[in-house]
Amino acid sequence: MRTRVWLRPRIIDRYLLGEVAISFIAATIILLMVLVGGAVADLLNKIARGRIPADLLFTLIGLRTVGTLTILMPLATLLGVLLGYGRLWRDSEMAVLQSSGLDLEGLIRPLALFVVPTMLLVGTISFWLGPAADRLAQELLTEASRSLIVAGLEPGKFVDLPNRDGVIYVGEMSADGTRFKRMFIQSERPDTRDHNKTRIDVITATHGFLYHDADGIGRYMALIDGFRVEGRLGQDDFRLMKFARNDIKLPDSDNNENETVAKRSAPTGVLLAAPDDPVMNAELHWRLAAPLSVLVLTLLALPLSKSSPREPRYARMLIALLVWLIYYNGLLFGRSWIAQGKLAAVFGLWWVYLPAIAIALWLLWSSQRLQRPRARKA
């Protein structure tokens, strides 16, 4: 019977839940715009440097957004509770509700109806959707890095060399961007013997192809049947060389397919099957931290939202953001220590959760305790 009462929202529960939900949605949209804006700027910079293809921009933005939700939604929950309940305190609505019999349990009921579904959603993203999005992004970058089009090369057009002073020209290119004809490369660099002088290199080739190193990361252009002219500008020491094949290394793509990243994007089942791997243990605890943070930050936000009508509007928000910053950095340090083997995996990140929960419960107890009236002086 008690469970049915809790599952059946009252009018006041729906009202409080609506206040928190509206504030949570607003905070989520604002934080999402900030994070997506930073991701777009980063991706555009990498596209300009020829690190990733332009046609993957919106796909990568979407995949990155999925991963950032595990950080964004716990913070949005903290701000949602703080703003929703804080407005009720400032407008004296909470005082009226408490005088009508609304106790601490009545304040927690709508939060429980909000937090439980949010924890389930964040847990689903953290354990399944987020890693799957990371793996898909890595697969797309791996496939795209096998094409010269990623480096910004277009047939019949002179293109600036990424991170270098010079240009490159390709006469023809295959549809997949792996083979080309009539290549011309001109680059300049400071002379190692005399920094006041500039060396120039001009390379031509009749045809060639793109291939990857043995590690699958490094990219090279194999130039076939060509000439190379190099020397210092203003000097008469130019050299002319003919080659049958000349390999040139391209800038590394942003395919961070190293061991650590591969483990962090691994499916949750793989993490559970490797209890002796510190990196996988750290990633498992990090994924668990996302849904638990929703609960911990909600408990912290409840007492922090209590304010007087004359208190500055955003004073408590600054305190809440400072609390979140300390809490989040504690999670980051714990993740790093577990991955490095400095902290046993059995301790996990509980040494961050438990003190935060203890502080939240103490603040709740302090906020509900009635102050003793002061004795009048005779």
DSSP 231-271: EETTSS--EEEEEEEEEEEPPPPS---SHHHHHHTS-HHHH
Top-confidence residue, 264 or 207 = 207
Q: Is the pLDDT of residue 252 over 70?
A: no
Distance, in Å, from the CA atom of 129 to the CA atom of 60, rounded to the nearest integer, reads: 14
pLDDT higher at 1 or 312:
312
Residue 54 has pLDDT above 90, yes or no: no
In the predicted model, what is the mean pLDDT of residues 222-234?
85
- Could you read off the pLDDT of 128-185 as tens digits, one per residue? 999 999 888 888 877 766 655 555 567 788 877 655 567 888 888 877 677 888 888 8
Return the higher-pLDDT residue of 52 and 22. 22
Task: State the Cα–Cα distance between residues 339 and 170, nearest whole angstrom.
Answer: 46
- Using pLDDT thresholds of 50, 70 and 90, give the confidence band for residue 220: confident
**CA distance from start to end of the chain:** 54
The helix (H) or strand (E) run that includes residue 85 is helix 57-90
The dihedral over CA atoms of 101, 105, 111, 116, expressed in degrees to the nearest 10, equals -150
pLDDT tens, residue by residue, 41-52: 888 877 766 667
